[in-house]
């Protein structure tokens, strides 16, 4: 079964865990950016809780010595059911 989702996002991400972890490690966002090699534009996406590539999360996880679940949360959209009805299946 193939699923097509056009212009719909059925989940959001939150990087609040990442920011709390940085506080615990006494590390600034700028220090993380430099140490991990993440671009300033990508850091802006993280600050806005926008999706980023897994390779970016890999760099951050390696830099901090953590796993994905330690820095990002999946938040289900309250309107999942209505958006799921807009998915075409073959």
Domain hosting residue 19, numbered range: 3-89
What does the pLDDT look like over 13-68, one tens digit per residue? Answer: 899 999 999 999 999 999 999 999 999 999 999 999 988 999 999 999 999 999 99
Query: How many domains does the chain divide into?
Result: 1
CA-based angle 77:49:44, to the nearest 5? Answer: 160
**CA separation, residue 42 to residues 21, 36, 61, 77, 79 (Å):** 18, 12, 15, 23, 27
Is pTM, for the whole model, over 0.85?
no
CATH of the domain at 73: 1.10.260.40
CA 46 to chain CA mean position, Å: 7
Helix (H) / strand (E) element for 62: namely helix 54-64
* Tens-place pLDDT, residues 18-29: 999 999 999 999
Report residue 67 as tokens. Answer: 């796993």
């Amino acid at each position: 079964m193939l699923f097509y989702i056009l212009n719909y996002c059925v989940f959001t991400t939150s990087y609040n865990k990442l920011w709390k972890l940085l506080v615990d490690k006494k590390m600034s966002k700028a220090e993380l950016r430099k140490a991990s090699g993440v671009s300033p534009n990508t850091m802006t996406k993280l600050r806005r809780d926008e999706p980023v590539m897994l390779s970016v999360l890999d760099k951050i996880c390696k830099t901090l010595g953590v796993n994905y679940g330690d820095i990002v949360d999946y938040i289900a959209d309250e309107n999942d059911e209505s958006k799921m009805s807009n998915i075409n299946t073959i």
